[in-house]
Structure 1
C-alpha cells in the first residue's frame, strides 16, 4: 500500500479565488480559505488521502514566521472548518463567494479564518505533515510560496441611527369579523439601513415562551377591563419558515389568547415583507371586548399588566452587531426601541 510521503502541489487561495481581502476584526466575520494539495507517495505518484486525515494534518500558519494560527481560538487570528452565518467578504458584492477549482489530482481542504479586535494584517500560508512524518510548508522559508493576505477592518457597532424601525397595519385572522372582539394590530419592522448590507441573525432575550403566548413581551389591561394592549416579538428563526402555515399560505403569530372565560384568540399575519430573514417583526395589538371585559388568569397573564425589558441583538452579514432595548412599559402607546448602553 502506498505511503503518503510528500506533496507535489501546495497552495492556498481565498474561497473567491483571490489572494487578498479585508475581514472585520469582530471575531465573527469568517473568510473562506481553500487549500489545494496533491499528496504523493515515495515514488512521486499522486495518491488520494482520506479527507479526515488531510484536515488533521494541515495547519494554517503565519506566512512570515511559520507560527500556527489558533485553531478555533478566541484571541488574535483563528480558524475553523465550520462556517457561521457571517462569511460575506467586506467590499465584495454578492451573497457568498465562489469556490476555487482544484487541478486534476489535487485535493481540497477548506478553512474559515477570522480575527479578534486589535489584530494586525496577516499573510497566511499552510503547513502539512505527511504520513511518513515529513513537514512541508507554503511559507516565506518553505518549499512552496503560496499565501493569502487579510487586512482587518475595525468592528462596527450599530445604533438607532443605523436602523429602520417603522410600522404598518397588520392583517389578523378575525379582525372586525366578530361581534365579541375588535382587534387592531400593527407590525413593526427592525432592519438595517446601510446600503449593500442587512441583518442576517437576531437574538431576543426577555419574553414569554408559553404555548399560545410565545413572543409576548408586554401586556396591559387598564381599568374598565375592556381593552387589551399587547406587544409580541417574533424571535424564532428562520423567519421564513418558523411561523409558516401551509393552510393559510403565510406566516402567522398567535395573539390575544384568552382561552379561559373569553374563549378567544386571534392570529396576525407576520413577516409579510420581502426577504423576511433580513428583519425582525414585532406586533403591537389593541383588542377590545364587551361584557365583563378580559378575564385573568389566562396562561402566564396573572396580573392586569406585566412586561419585560427585552434585549434585541442583531448581526449583519459580517458579524457586526447592534443591541437594542424594547421597553414593555410603553405598551399602551406604541413600541419604542432604545439604544443599549452598557
Structure 2
C-alpha cells in the first residue's frame, strides 16, 4: 500500500488572489490564506490523502525564520481554521473560503490569519509534515526562504480604529405606528433614530446594547417621562431595538394596559441594509381623561430612565463605545462617546 511521503506542489496565497494585503491589528480582523499541496508516495506518484489528516499536518510559518504562527493564539500573529464576522481584507476584495481537492489530487486548505496590536509586517509561508515511510522517517517540507518550495504572502498590519461620535451618523426620521389613525383616545408621534458609520466604504456589522429594560411588553425601553403638566397627559419614551439580526418589523411602545388600556406598535428598521444600523425610537403620546396611569410593568415612577451603553464593531473588527442619554427624554435622544 502506498504511503504519503512527499509533495510535488506546495504553495500559499491569499484567498483574494493578491500576493499581499493589509490587516487591522485588532485581534478580530481575519484574512484568508489558502495552502495548495499535492501529496505523493515513495515513488513520486500522486496519492490520495484524507483531507482532514492532511490539514492537521499543515502549519503557517514565518517565511524568513520558519517560526510557527500561534494556533488560535491570543497575541502576536496567529491563525485558525474558521471564519468570523470580521473576515475581510481592508481596501480589498471579499473573502472566498476555498477548501477542496482538485481532480489532479491537489488539496486546498484555507486558514484565517489575525494579529494583535504592535506587530510588524509578516511574510507567511507553509510547512507540511508527511507520514512516516517504511524506515519511520518523516519528511518536513516548507515553502520558506530556505525551503524546497518558495511561496509566501505578505500581511501588512494597520493600526486598529476606535470610533468616536465624530465617526458616526445619528439620523432620525418620522416613524409610523399601528394606532396612528386612532386619535380618539391617544395621539402618538414617533421618530426613529439610526446609528450608523459615516464611512462610505465601511459599515457596522455588530451592535451590543447593555442597560435597557427586557421585560415582556417593555423590551428595549430605555427611558420614559410623564411630566406633571397638563394632568399627566403626555408620555415621552425611548426604546432601542437591539435584537440581531436587524430586520424590518414592529416594536411595542406606549404599553399602558392597566388603567389606560392602551399599547401601540411602531415600524422599525425601515431602511435598506438594516443590519448596518442600530434603531432607536423616540415617542410622544398624549392621552385624554385623567392622564397616564402607573404603575405599568417597570414604569413605576413618573420618570424612569436607564443609561444604555452601545458597543459597535465594523466589518474589520474595529470598535467604538457610546451611550444614549435618556434623562431628558422630553427633548429627544442624544448619543455621546462612552467614557468609563
What TM bracket, shorter-length normalisation?
A: over 0.9
- How far apart are 1:183 and its partner, in Å? 1.1
CA distance in 2, matches of 1:56, 1:265: 58
Counterpart contact for 1:176–1:183, Cα < 8 Å: no
Q: Which has the larger radius of gyration?
A: 2
Aligned positions, number: 332
Structure 2's unaligned 5+ residue stretches are 133-137
Task: Find the aligned partners of 1:332 and 1:169 in 2 and give their Cα distance.
Answer: 16
Among residues 254, 257, 260, which one is paired with 1:256 in the alignment? 254
Residue of 153, 171, 175 corresponding to 1:170: 175
The residue that corresponds to 2:322 in the other structure is 324
Query: How far off its partner does 1:102 sit?
Result: 6.8
Q: Show CA shifts across 1:12-32 (max 9, x none).
A: 100101110111111111111
| Counterpart Cα distance in 2 of 1:215 and 1:282 | 9
**Counterpart of 2:33?**
33
SS in 1 for 2:52: helix
Q: Where do 1:123-272 residues align within 5 Å?
A: 123-132=123-132, 133-223=138-228, 224-240=231-247, 250-272=248-270
- C-alpha distance in structure 2 between counterparts of 1:43 and 1:238, whole Å: 54
1:288 maps onto 2:298 in alignment: no
Once the two structures are superposed, what CA deviation does each residue of 1:209-260 show, in whole Å capped at 9, x if it has no partner? Answer: 12211111111122232221111111111112xxxxxxxxx41111111222
Partner of 1:310: 308
Unaligned runs of 5+ in 1: 241-249
Q: Tell me, in whole angstroms, the C-alpha distance in 2 between the residues paired with 1:341 and 1:193.
A: 21
CA shift for structure 1 position 193: 0.7
Instruction: Kindly state the Cα deviation for residue 107 of structure 1 after the two structures are TM-superposed.
Output: 0.9
Give the Cα separation in 2 of the matches to 1:210 and 1:74.
Answer: 37
- Taking structure 2 as the reference length, what is the TM-score of the superposition? 0.92
Tell me, yes or no, if the aligned pair for 1:88 and 1:97 is still in contact at 8 Å: no
**Cα RMSD, aligned residues only:** 1.8
SS of 1:239's equivalent in the other structure is coil
Counterpart CA distance in 1 for 2:32 and 2:97 is 10
Q: Secondary structure in 1 aligned to 2:166?
A: helix
In 2, Cα distance between the equivalents of 1:51 and 1:229? 60
Distance 2:39 2:292 in 1: 73
Q: Is the 8 A contact 2:100 2:109 kept in 1?
A: no
Deviation at 1:134, TM superposition (A): 2.4
How far the C-alpha of 1:51 sits from its partner, in A, is: 2.5
The structure 1 residue matched to 2:277, chosen from 276, 279, 303, is 279
1:271-293 CA distances to partner (integer Å, 9 max, x unpaired)? 11111111111100111112232
Question: Which residue number in structure 1 is paired with residue 135 of structure 2?
Answer: none
Range moving further from structure 2, 129-138 or 110-119: 129-138
